[in-house]
Amino acid sequence: MTLARATATTSSRNSWGYGFGMVDILPARTNPHRSGVNQTLGRPKRPKSSYIRFQADLPNECWQSDFTHWRLARGNDAEILLWLDDHSRYLISATTHKPVTGAIVLATFQHACTQHGTPQSTLTDNGFVFTTRHRGGPNAFEIELLNRGIEQKNGSPNHPQTQGKVERLNQTLKTWLTARPRAHTLTDLQTQLDEFTHNYNTQRPHASLQNRTPAETYHARAKATPDHNHTGHYRIRDDTVHATGSVTLRRGGRMHHIQLGTSLGGTPIRMLIHDLNVIIINRDTGEILRELTINPDKDSQPRGLKPGPKPGNKKGGMPKGYKFKKIRKSRDIP
């Protein structure tokens, strides 16, 4: 077995912590079974150059997101959530958490939209914090995307190459952090992330960007916006709650009346419909007003509340446990 030895000069090292000394390049390990199959079928090994490289045409056309793990100085684990513009490699957001949750994904995305505009689409893996539509229904982040008319894209399971840019960013970030004193707290780590974000966006040119920085590329062209074509897995219908507290939905030639409550009369709503499953949200606030499965045999879809005053309502009737006082008879009363 021959050994190819490549040398990179120390001049390639810069403030980012890149650059290497002697690098030994060994032949890649081969899978005997796969090699045998390829030889039998006469199929050569697929070269890397044959892979199709994808890049969005405009800023905000696609945001990639992922999170990675990082250990603090005291051994505590932290997680770093990243949002990256696919077109320009502009780092939209880098935040640290313990841990990353679905609520955090939603909050950071909403803040990023406020700061940088709404993207046309998102690209993530199939982690629970990003998608649960195949596990009984969409999560809050997916509902937010549907409500904004943003197309959601998810990579194939066990195929991180689909989110290659943000995966590569994870490596770049960890190389940069490793070259610096390890943070003791989440606050310290966030300070380092803010510094990294500024340097990465404004001081580090990319060869794939014609040696421009991500910030220069991101701000050079008009930004894409959502198509509002709602190409997701849910059919979308906008309506207003009737004064009687209901909305109507026609399915299979039958009109269904979905009850929401008279207190919501006049509220603008958006229905996300997938087969018999319906999610109704407030179009102004994004609040989920009701989730239900349509009963196809009934026109009215009640809320399932028992009649009478709500628990804790003291209006009407005597308090629970009240004892009536005995009236003493008076001698003056015949």
Query: Nearest-5° angle of CA 325, CA 326, CA 331?
Result: 140
pLDDT at 36 over 70: no
What are φ and ψ of residue 241, in 5° steps? -65, 130
- Tell me, yes or no, whether 92 and 189 share the same domain: yes
Of 59-63, 162-166, 264-268, 298-302, the poorest mean pLDDT is in 162-166
- Tell me, yes or no, whether 116 and 246 share the same domain: no
Whole-number pLDDT of residue 20? 35
CB 189 within 8 A of CB 176: no
The verdict on residue 197 lying in a domain is yes
CB 140 within 8 A of CB 152: no
- Tell me, yes or no, whether 108 and 208 share the same domain: yes
3-state secondary structure 179-207: CCCCCCCHHHHHHHHHHHHHHHHHCCCEH
Distance between CA 173 and CA 58 in Å, rounded?
24
- Tell me, yes or no, whether 165 and 275 share the same domain: no
Distance between CA 230 and CA 272 in Å, rounded?
10
Distance between CA 141 and CA 129 in Å, rounded?
8
Nearest to 289 by CA among 266, 260, 310: 260
Query: Nearest-5° angle of CA 62, CA 210, CA 93?
Result: 35
Q: Is the pTM of this model over 0.75?
A: no
CB 239 within 8 A of CB 271: yes
Which has the higher per-residue pLDDT, 208 or 186? Answer: 186
- Tell me, yes or no, whether 104 and 142 share the same domain: yes
Determine the structural domain holding residue 252 and report its residue range.
Answer: 235-301
Looking up residue 207, the CATH number of its domain turns out to be 3.30.420.10
- Tell me, yes or no, whether 262 and 210 share the same domain: no
What are the pLDDT digits (tens) for 251-310?
877 899 999 999 999 999 988 887 788 889 888 877 888 989 999 889 999 987 765 565
Whole-number percent of the chain with pLDDT over 70: 70
Position 88: which residue type?
Answer: S
Count how many domains the chain has: 3
- Tell me, yes or no, whether 91 and 211 share the same domain: yes
- Tell me, yes or no, whether 255 and 291 share the same domain: yes
The verdict on residue 191 lying in a domain is yes
Q: Which structure tokens are listed for 209?
A: 């960007």
- Tell me, yes or no, whether 12 and 89 share the same domain: no
The verdict on residue 96 lying in a domain is yes
- Tell me, yes or no, whether 99 and 191 share the same domain: yes
- Tell me, yes or no, whether 118 and 147 share the same domain: yes
Q: How confident is the model at residue 88 (pLDDT cuts 50, 70, 90)?
A: very high
- Tell me, yes or no, whether 296 and 179 share the same domain: no
Q: How confident is the model at residue 87 (pLDDT cuts 50, 70, 90)?
A: very high
What are the pLDDT digits (tens) for 115-154?
999 999 999 988 899 998 777 678 899 989 988 889 998 8
Of 69-73, 247-251, 315-319, the poorest mean pLDDT is in 315-319
The verdict on residue 17 lying in a domain is yes
The verdict on residue 325 lying in a domain is no
Whole-number pLDDT of residue 217? 93
Average pLDDT taken over every residue of the chain: 79
The verdict on residue 223 lying in a domain is no
Position 224: which residue type?
Answer: A
The verdict on residue 149 lying in a domain is yes
The total of other beta-carbon atoms located within 10 Å of residue 113's CB is 18
The verdict on residue 57 lying in a domain is no
Whole-number pLDDT of residue 270? 87
CB 146 within 8 A of CB 236: yes
